[in-house]
Structure 1
Amino acid sequence: MRLSPDEESIKDIFDSFFDAECSIERVRTAEESGFDATAWERFIETGGPGMCLPESCGGGGADLTTAAIVANLLGTYVAPIPFIEHVVAARLLASLDQSNANLPLLATGEMIGSLALQSLHDSTSAIVPAGAIANYIIGLRGEEIVVAENTTDASPLRNTANLPIARHNFDDAIVIASGEQAHNAYLRAKSEWKALMAVALTGLGRKAVDIGVGYAKERYQFGVLIGSFQGIQHGFATSITNVEGSHFLSSRAIAALEKGADNSA
C-alpha cells in the first residue's frame, strides 16, 4: 500500500533507528533473552513507546497505521524490542481509563506493557508475549479486565524463535474494568496484536527473500550464477508474491481496525 509523504518520513526515521540499533550482531547478542535493553532505551528517545497514545496521556497521537509502519520494520530487522506488545497494551489501557496513573509510565516506556492473549477463565496463569520483560500485563478474566503489575514470578518459556515469552501468575491481579464494553476493548486489542504481528512477519518474510536473492546473485554453480536457473527464479517470484499478498491483507486489517471494525484480524 502506498504511503503518504508523512508516513514515508516516519518510515525513514525508524528505518535509520533500526539500522543503527538492531544490527545482526546486536540481534545475535540478544538472542538468549530476546530483548536488547540498550535498543529499548534508544527507542524511548524516539518517542516510540507512546507514539500511538493520545496526546492528553503524554503520547504522540499517532494512529494504528503508523504503528504498522514501525512493526513492519521491526520484522525486517528482527528487532529484539517489545514494540507490538507494548503499544497494544498501552492503547487498551488508554481506551479504558485515560486517568490511570501508569499510563504516563507506559507512554515514556519506563514501564513495559503486554497483553495476555489467553482468556484466564478458571486459570490463574497465562502465557504472555514479551512476558519475560513486561511489568504491566493486561488480561481478561470473564468480563473483567485485570492487570498483573511488577510481578516477579514470570516463568520464561523456551521457544525456537528466542522470543521473551513467559507464563505469568494472575493470582494478585487488580481489576481495572469490567462489563461488555471492557470485554470488547480487550478483544479489539487482541485483534490489533494479531494484525501488527502479521505486518511484522511480512517484513521478516521480505527480508528473507532479499537475502536469498542476494545469495543467488553471487553463488556460482556449473560455471553460472544460480540466479540464472529458472527453478530458482520461479521460487523467489512465488515467495515474494506470497509475502506481498500477506502484507496487503495485513495492511487491510490494520485499516479496518482503524475504522472501527473489531474483528478484522
Structure 2
Amino acid sequence: MDRYELRRLDYSLSEDHQALQAAYKDFFATHCSIETVRAAEGSGVDKNLWERLCAMGATTMAVPESAGGDGATLVDLTLVAEELGRALAPVPWIDHVCAARLLARFGAADADVVTGTRLVSLDPQQHNTSGIRLIPAGSVADHIVVREGDEVVRLTFSTRPAGVDNIAKLPMAWVDPAGADARTVLAAGPDALAEYQRALDEWRLLTGAALVGLVEATMTIAAEFAKTRYTLGVPIATLQAISHPLANIAITVSAGRNLARRAAWFLDNEPEERRELAPSVFVFMAEEAAKAATMAVHVQGGLGVSAEAAATAYLVRARGWPLAGGDPGVVAAYLAGIVAEREGQD
C-alpha cells in the first residue's frame, strides 16, 4: 500500500492487512465462543484465551521494534481490535497494548510486558490526575500506569485490588495510588503528559474500533433472525420497520470503520495534523453502538431481551465498554476544545 493511500480517503486494505484481520477473525471464532464469553463474566478475563492471544503475538506486534516488539502500525491494531469486539473477547488487550506502548516510549517496557506475560493497564479517563480511580483492568494488571499531577507513574500492588461488578463485564477495580507497594515515576512535565494523552487517544481509537466489530456482529445476529421469522407469509426482514434500521446499522459500521482507519493513519504519521480524529472515533461509536445493539435486541422481540440471548451480551457491552473511559461527554468536550483551538488559529 502506498504510504499516503489511506490519507487520500481510500480505506481499502492491502493483502497483508486482509490476511492479518482474517487470522484474528479465525482465532476468535475458534477460541472465543459465546459460551467462553459468558463463562468469563465473573472475573472479566479468560486466562487461557489471553495466553493463546499472547502466543499468537497480539501483544508483541503492538510494541515498537526498538522496545523488542514487531512494530505494527495503528491501522494493524484497529483490525485486531475490530475482531476482538466482534467476538466480545474477555481479554484486556486494548488496555495492555496502550499501556505497553506508553511504557515503551518511556523506555520502561521489559520483555515480560512486551510478550504479555506481565499484564499492564492504564487509567483512560481524561481528567484523572490524583486520588482513587476506577481502572478497567485494575483487578488483573501487574502494573498500572496513571497520571499523578504532572508525573506519569507506574504502580505495583503485591495484592491486586478486588474486582468490581460492572455492566461491561470488565476486570474493573478501584485503585488507590497511595496504597501501592511500589511507585515508579516514569517521567514528568509537559512532554510526559503529552505522551500519556497519546496513550488515551490510542485507547479511544482501539475501543472505537472494537465497537465497530461489536456493532457489525449485532447487525448480523439481527439480520439472520429477521430472515427466518415470518409475518403475513413474508420474512420480517422485508418490512421497512426492520430493514431500514438494519441498513442504518450497516452505514454506522462502514462510517466507524473508515473513521478508525483514517484516525489510525494520522495518529501514526501526522499526530498533530488531525488530533480530533481519534477521540471522534470514540465519541461516534460510543453513541452509535448502544443504539445499534438496542435495535438488534428489538428485532428479536422477547427472545432478544432474554438473559441467554447473544444479543443481550452485545447490548450490555455496547453500553458498558465506552463507560470504562469515563463519561463519553467528557471526551466530547475535549474533542470540541481541539476543534475550537484549531478554528481560533485559522
TM-score computed with the length of structure 1 as normaliser: 0.93
2:126 aligned with 1:121, yes or no? no
SS of residue in 2 equivalent to 1:20: helix
Give the secondary structure class of the aligned counterpart of 1:155.
coil
Distance (Å, rounded) in 2 between the aligned partners of 1:250 and 1:6: 18
Between 67-76 and 132-141, report the one with greater CA deviation: 132-141
Deviation per residue, 1:131-173 (Å, 9 max, x gap): 1211111111111010112452513222112111211121133
- Does the residue aligned with 1:217 lie in a helix, a strand or coil? helix
1:8-28 C-alpha deviation (Å, 9 max, x unpaired): 111111111111111111111
**Alignment partner, residue 141 of structure 1:** 148
Letter in 2 for 1:164: P
User: In the superposition, relative to structure 1, how do residues 122 and 58 fare at CA in structure 2: closer, same or farther (>3 Å)?
Assistant: closer
C-alpha offsets along residues 116-141 of structure 1, whole Å, 9 cap, x if unaligned? 12454341x21111112111111111
Say if 2:86 and 2:214, in contact at 8 Å, map to a contact too: yes
Shift of 1:174: 1.9
Structure 2 gap segments, 5+ residues each: 1-10, 280-346
**C-alpha separation between the residues in 1 aligned to 2:128 and 2:246?**
42
Matched, 1:220 2:261: no
CA contact (8 A) 2:151 2:185 kept: yes
Q: Secondary structure at 2:81's aligned position in 1?
A: helix
For residues 76 and 153 of structure 1, the distance between their equivalents in structure 2, rounded to whole angstroms, comes to 29
**1:22 paired residue number:** 32
Q: Which residue of 2 aligns with 1:177?
A: 187
- Residue 161 of structure 1 is aligned with which of 165, 168, 175? 168
List structure 1 segments (4+ residues) > 3 angstroms apart after TM superposition.
118-122
The residue that corresponds to 2:82 in the other structure is 72
Structure 1 residues 160-192: Cα deviation after superposition (integer angstroms, max 9, x where no partner) = 121112111211332111111111000000000
Contact 1:90/1:103 (<8 A) preserved: no
* Aligned pairs for 1:243-262 within 5 A: 243-261=253-271
Say whether 1:4 aligns with 2:14.
yes
Any conservation in 2 of the 1:126–1:168 contact (CA below 8 Å)?
A: yes
What's the secondary structure of 2:228's corresponding residue? coil
Match for residue 131 of structure 1? 138
Letter of the structure 1 residue corresponding to residue 72 of structure 2:
A
3-state SS of paired residue (1:48): coil
Q: Which amino acid aligns with 2:19?
A: S
**CA displacement at 1:244 relative to structure 2:** 1.7
Question: Which of residues 179, 197, 200 is equivalent to 1:187?
Answer: 197
- How far apart in 2 are the matches of 1:178 and 1:151? 25
**Cα distance between partner residues in 1 of 2:219 and 2:64:** 37
Aligned residue for 2:6?
A: none
Q: Distance in 2 between matches of 1:62 and 1:121?
A: 30
Bigger shift: residues 248-257 or 175-184: 248-257
- Name the % identity: 36
* Equivalent pair of 1:156/1:165 in contact (CA under 8 Å): yes
Q: Is the 8 A contact 1:153 1:169 kept in 2?
A: no
- Measured in 2, the distance between the counterparts of 1:165 and 1:253 equals 27
CA contact (8 A) 2:134 2:175 kept: yes
- State the partner residue of 2:58: 48
Rate the CA distance shift 1:122–1:239 in 2: closer, same or farther, 3 A: closer
Aligned partner letter, 1:83: W
Flag the 1:122–1:196 CA change in 2: closer, same or farther, 3 A.
closer
Q: Partner residue of 1:106?
A: 113
**Root mean square deviation of aligned Cα:** 1.5
Q: For residue 210 of structure 1, what is the aligned residue in structure 2?
A: 220
Aligned residues: 261
| Matches of 2:162 and 2:87, distance apart in 1 | 27
- Aligned partners of 1:195 and 1:66: how far apart in 2? 12
Matched, 1:91 2:101: yes
